[in-house]
């Protein structure tokens, strides 16, 4: 088995002494005796199989046709390689494929009878994995390894799968429509959310822009204020410096003026001294003499006036004492007179006292009515003539009370007045 080129294993069989020792060589070379050693070859290349099962009933009794693709090769482990050589040595590749293909198709048919259409159609990978796992031990005992097995196609002649497809299509279409509606709804919601977020972002952006602009304006105002402050400070410093310079100049001028003034004062003081001496010589001393004379005259006049005032005061005192003596004498005489009158009045009766009061009433009335002499006309306003009469009567009735209050004499005891007041009552 094998070959010198290394494309496959080579088996050397037999020997010159009739030995049955077998030697397996793969991927290499070996010596073989011509006419003594027997050599045979077997391919180790990958073989592609296409198993096909037509009208195989599933567990539900639905006839399906299933096609697949399998990749197999002879294993190179020594024991498995020996098994494969025993099974397939001397056969061509097509014969090996037919044996493995029939084995795979048999297992495929048996597995199809245990599954439903939905399981086969919807989960092909699981179905293929199941076939590979079931068939692998059988083909492995032949020295064959299943490298891969996949389901190529599944179909039927009664359109069962087509009906499932339509149902699934309707479900899918329904789900698709629902999905589209939900997507549109979500898209609308998302669009609204995006618009809201856009408006929020725009508002935030506008707010930030406004804040930035406000901050810029505030910063600009602060800069302007700072510039103005600095400018004002510079201007003030300039003016202060100018004022200081002017002050220094003025101080220098004042110092110059002070010096000039001092010199002028010195000159004026000297002039004053000179004029004072001149005044003393020409005016002051004669004036002092005149003032002394006038002072002596004033002193004499003062003494004269004092003496005159003393004499006048003595005169007034003497006159006052005389007048006081006269007033005292007159007072004593009046007091004696009043005493005598009082004694005489005590001896008078009520009639005499009444006569005295009545004699004094005209004088009292004249004194009371004296201010009325300056009045041209007196008008008493009253719409009733009786009212005027009553007023006059009331005034007459008040006279006795007034006289009694002034003199102590009760005029109401006079019969005439009693008659008048009684008529008034």
357 inside domain: no
Exposure of 116 in the CB half-sphere (CA atoms within 13 A): 4
pLDDT tens across 224-250, in order?
888 888 888 888 888 888 888 888 888
Helices 124-140, 93-112: inter-axial angle, 10-degree rounding: 130
Cα-Cα-Cα-Cα dihedral sign, residues 258, 260, 261, 267: positive
173 inside domain: no
- Report the percentage of the chain scoring pLDDT > 90: 0
208 inside domain: no
Q: What mean pLDDT comes out for the span 258-266? A: 82
The answer to whether the CB of 66 falls within 8 A of the CB of 154 is yes
Q: Which of 140-144, 296-300, 352-356 has the lowest mean pLDDT?
A: 352-356
CA distance 122 to 118: 5
Q: What mean pLDDT comes out for the span 180-184? A: 83
Report which secondary-structure segment, H or E, holds 231. helix 160-279
Report whether pLDDT(16) > 50.
Answer: no
The answer to whether the CB of 48 falls within 8 A of the CB of 55 is no
Q: Which of 17-26, 45-54, 329-338, 380-389 has the lowest mean pLDDT?
A: 380-389
CA distance 195 to 188: 10
Three-state secondary structure call for residue 256: helix
Question: What is the domain extent for residue 36?
Answer: 3-9+21-158
179 inside domain: no
Cα R_g (the chain), whole angstroms? 84
263 inside domain: no
What CATH number is associated with residue 56? 3.30.479.30
Bridge-based pairing of strands 144-155 and 63-74 is antiparallel
The answer to whether the CB of 112 falls within 8 A of the CB of 66 is yes
If we measure between CA atoms, which residue out of 192, 143, 162 comes closest to residue 64?
A: 162
Q: What is the C-alpha end-to-end distance of the chain, expressed in Å?
A: 188
- On the 0-12 / 13-18 / 19+ scale of CB atoms within 10 A, 51 is buried
- pLDDT bin (cut points 50, 70, 90) of residue 216 is confident
Backbone torsion region of residue 2, taken as left when φ is above 0, otherwise alpha when ψ lies between -120 and 50, otherwise beta: left
CA distance 22 to 325: 203
* Number of neighbours of residue 232 by Cβ within 10 angstroms: 10
Token pair 């930030």 in the structure block, residue:
208
Three-state secondary structure call for residue 58: coil
204 inside domain: no
List 145's β-bridge partners, or say none.
73
Quick one: pLDDT at residue 396? 62
Three-state secondary structure call for residue 45: coil
- On the 0-12 / 13-18 / 19+ scale of CB atoms within 10 A, 170 is exposed
Report which secondary-structure segment, H or E, holds 395. helix 385-407
Count of structural domains, the chain: 1
CA distance 84 to 139: 10
Helices 93-112, 78-88: inter-axial angle, 10-degree rounding: 100
**Phi, psi at residue 17, to the nearest 5°?**
-105, 15
Helix, strand, coil distribution of the chain in percent, nearest 5: 70, 10, 20
Report whether pLDDT(336) > 50.
Answer: yes
The answer to whether the CB of 136 falls within 8 A of the CB of 75 is no
- pLDDT bin (cut points 50, 70, 90) of residue 415 is low
**pTM strictly above 0.75:** no
pLDDT tens across 351-371, in order?
666 666 667 667 776 766 667
Three-state secondary structure call for residue 166: helix
76 inside domain: yes
If we measure between CA atoms, which residue out of 49, 59, 58 comes closest to residue 103?
A: 49
pLDDT tens across 78-100, in order?
888 888 888 787 788 888 888 88
66 inside domain: yes
């Amino acid at each position: 088995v094998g070959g010198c080129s290394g494309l496959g294993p080579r088996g050397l069989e037999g020997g010159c002494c009739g030995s049955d020792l077998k030697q397996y060589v793969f991927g290499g070379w070996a010596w073989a005796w011509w006419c003594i050693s027997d050599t045979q070859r077997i391919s180790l290349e990958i073989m592609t199989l296409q198993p096909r099962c037509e009208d195989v009933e599933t567990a539900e009794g639905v006839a399906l046709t299933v096609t697949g693709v399998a990749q197999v090769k002879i294993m190179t482990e020594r024991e498995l390689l020996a098994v494969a050589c025993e099974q397939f040595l001397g056969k061509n590749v097509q014969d090996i494929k037919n044996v493995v293909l029939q084995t795979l198709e048999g297992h495929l048919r048996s597995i199809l009878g245990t599954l439903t259409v939905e399981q086969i159609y919807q989960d092909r990978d699981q179905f293929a994995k199941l076939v590979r796992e079931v068939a692998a031990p059988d083909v492995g005992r032949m020295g064959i390894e299943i490298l891969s097995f996949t389901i190529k196609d599944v179909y039927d002649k009664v359109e069962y799968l087509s009906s499932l497809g339509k149902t699934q299509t309707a479900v899918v279409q329904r789900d698709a429509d629902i999905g589209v509606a939900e997507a549109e709804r979500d898209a609308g919601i998302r669009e609204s959310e995006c618009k809201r977020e856009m408006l929020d972002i725009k508002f935030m952006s506008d707010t930030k822009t406004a804040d930035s602009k406000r901050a810029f304006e505030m910063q600009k105002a602060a800069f302007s204020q700072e510039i103005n402050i600095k400018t004002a400070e510079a201007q003030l410093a300039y003016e202060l410096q100018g004022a200081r310079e002017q002050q220094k100049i003025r101080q220098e001028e004042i110092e110059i003026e002070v010096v000039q003034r001092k010199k002028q004062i010195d000159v004026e003081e000297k002039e004053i001294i000179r004029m004072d001496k001149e005044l003393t010589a020409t005016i002051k001393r004669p004036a002092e003499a005149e003032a002394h004379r006038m002072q002596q005259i004033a002193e004499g006049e003062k003494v004269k006036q004092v003496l005159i005032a003393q004499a006048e005061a003595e005169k007034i005192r003497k006159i006052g004492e005389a007048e006081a003596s006269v007033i005292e004498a007159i007072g004593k005489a009046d007091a004696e007179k009043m005493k005598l009158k009082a004694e005489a009045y005590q001896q008078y009766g009520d009639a005499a006292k009444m006569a005295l009061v009545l004699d004094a009433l005209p004088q009292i009335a004249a004194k009371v009515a004296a201010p009325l002499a300056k009045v041209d006309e007196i008008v008493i306003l009253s719409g009733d003539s009786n009212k005027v009469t009553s007023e006059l009567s009331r005034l007459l009735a008040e006279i006795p009370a007034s006289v009694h209050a002034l003199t102590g004499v009760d005029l109401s005891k006079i019969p005439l007045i009693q008659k008048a007041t009684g008529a008034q009552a």
